Structure 1
Amino acid sequence: VFETAYISPVKITMLLDTMLGFKHLMSAYQVQSVKACATSAMRDALNSQEVLQTVLEKTHIKIEIISGDMEANLVYENHVAENMNNENSYMYIDVGGGSTELSFFTNGILRFKNSFNIGTIRLLKKMVTDLHWEEMKNAIKTLTLGQKKVIAIGSGGNINKVFSLSKKKDGKPLSLELLRDYCKELEGFPLEERITRYSLRKDRADVIVPALSIYINAMRWAGADEIYVPKIGLADGLIRHLWDEMKAR
């Protein structure tokens, strides 16, 4: 998508098969409410509306394309700020294939949230320019200037995988130095060896290094030397959002 600006027929078929699978599962479990959302790739695709209409006709599942700001809002709806103390500032970093969402908290208050077009697939396809990096760097440095010590909070499949590889106990942070070590180590192996040596899926093995580079840069610019990896993400925010909608009916 990021190269051609179109979702290919092969990917459309895969999406339809996946959504039909979800439809059957929801039928089996008698699901009463569902919220289906698409993010960066669908935002960029010129044929996105056509694809979503096909999915709706074949599965009766309506997929909503959400903005980068909405992604950041859904992150906040995880109530990630509830367990933060006032001695530190916190930067929430959610890395996806097409974009990175940043949320910044100080004194328990959300001060900033934004989406940047820097993602793992975009990096792999060499579609992230120096200007993209500068935009994120300037935003982070401006945000954190004069603030309390910043602690990072990470979400996304790649940081979760690194946390798993680290054998750290739940609730313990990963150091910036450890992320750098993993990035250098993983970068040194070809794709197939990464898969076997670290028990990575192929679609994880090729994006884990670009993902680490995003976390490392964001932490470096914020002056954060530790990152916590709670088991929450965009899907958790969507569930909470759906629950709030149901209660309001």
Structure 2
Amino acid sequence: MLEIKKYGAIDIGSNAIRLLVSNIVIKKGNDIQFKKSSLVRVPIRLGADSFVKGIISDENITRMIDAMEAFKLLMKVHNVEKYKACATSAMREAKNGAEVVAQILNKTGVQIDIIGGKEEAAIISSTDLSKLISGDNSYLYVDVGGGSTEFTIFSAGKITTSKSFKMGTVRLLNNKKSVNKAIFADVEKWIKKNTKDLKNLALIGSGGNINKLFKMSGRTEGKPISYIYLNAQYQFLKKMSYQERVSELSLNPDRADVIIPATKIYLSAMKWSGASKIYVPKIGLSDGIIKSLFYNKI
């Protein structure tokens, strides 16, 4: 007997807000399948408010309310039976974060949970990485967001350690160079300390920017990107102006600036861990929310 459930996940990030609707296919004797049905991305850059002014602006609160109303209607059309909304670093750090959550709940009925860095890393790590992390190989999982980056180390199929750093793309664009230098130094120290005894380590990358870089590479799904290719792409992107990245590469306006610091983070993580390749399985927080909801972990 075949059963299909529809779940929704709302990921309120620092660079954009996403709604993922997934079909969960349940058939006796078969593995449970999670299939993306719809993904809607709205470029509301909350990090530009939170990391610079310390609060979410009235304009963006209004846009968030409109987005939640739209997402509710979309989930109704899709017959979503269960959903969860999670907000990450921009809302975590905004002084009026709790007030914004209450206002959205009052206006739309959507309950938003502001999750911590460790919880965010745990939800992301609950995604299906079994095809990659099986066996004795070691991996450094890097999820780059707008406000923070989550690092998780897998060895022999198990999580050995994880940490969230305030090293997001929107934050890096708005920080002073000296601040960014200090953050990169902290991350370098952590990665080198936790990967020094791991041989033949590879990266697993998630986030909108690495997904875009993978698509631009023309690689077959499941095949990794090499450090040499990614570095060449980084140098190519840096030489182009913001306008050229939008007009010639057809990048979204809110992607064309953050893709530079994002690529730098992935390259740095590869260099410090000694990894020569990065796998891009196209998974992230919203996928983790769906699976955590299904397995009653959140």
Cα distance in 1 between the residues matched to 2:127 and 2:149: 17
Query: Of 48, 59, 63, which aligns to 1:14?
Result: 63
Letter paired with 1:177: I
- Secondary structure of 2:64's match? helix
Query: Of 54, 66, 72, which aligns to 2:103?
Result: 54
Aligned residue pair count: 247
* Match in the other structure for 2:220: 169
TM-score by length of 2: 0.80
Cα distance in 1 between the residues matched to 2:204 and 2:236: 23
* Match in the other structure for 2:154: 105
* Match in the other structure for 1:215: 266
Say yes or no: does 1:32 pair with 2:86: no
| Richer in strand (by share) | 2
Query: Of 113, 120, 144, which aligns to 1:95?
Result: 144
Q: Report the identity percentage.
A: 44
Letter paired with 1:29: H
Superposed CA offset, 1:14-33 (max 9, x none): 11110010111223333222
Cα distance in 2 between the residues matched to 1:189 and 1:142: 35
The Cα shift of 1:113 comes to 1.0
Cα distance in 2 between the residues matched to 1:89 and 1:162: 23
- Secondary structure of 1:194's match? helix
* Match in the other structure for 1:63: 112
TM-score by length of 1: 0.95
Cα distance in 2 between the residues matched to 1:82 and 1:184: 31
Say yes or no: does 1:135 pair with 2:186: yes
The Cα shift of 1:134 comes to 1.7
Letter paired with 1:217: S
- For structure 1, the residue ranges without an aligned partner over 5 or more in a row are none
**Mean CA deviation greater in 80-89 or 162-171:** 80-89
| Richer in helix (by share) | 1
Superposed CA offset, 1:116-140 (max 9, x none): 0001011111254332112111111
* Match in the other structure for 1:182: 233
Superposed CA offset, 1:175-225 (max 9, x none): 111111111111111111111111100000010001000000011100001
Cα distance in 2 between the residues matched to 1:173 and 1:29: 34
CA RMSD in angstroms comes to 1.5
Whether the aligned pair in 2 keeps the contact of 1:86 and 1:108 (CA below 8 Å) is yes
Cα distance in 2 between the residues matched to 1:171 and 1:123: 30
**Mean CA deviation greater in 41-50 or 74-83:** 74-83
Whether the aligned pair in 2 keeps the contact of 1:38 and 1:66 (CA below 8 Å) is yes
* Match in the other structure for 2:205: 154
- Secondary structure of 1:2's match? helix
Q: Summarize the alignment of residues 75-86 of structure 1 with structure 2, pairs less than 5 Å apart.
A: 75-86=124-135
Query: Of 100, 104, 114, which aligns to 2:163?
Result: 114
Whether the aligned pair in 1 keeps the contact of 2:92 and 2:116 (CA below 8 Å) is yes
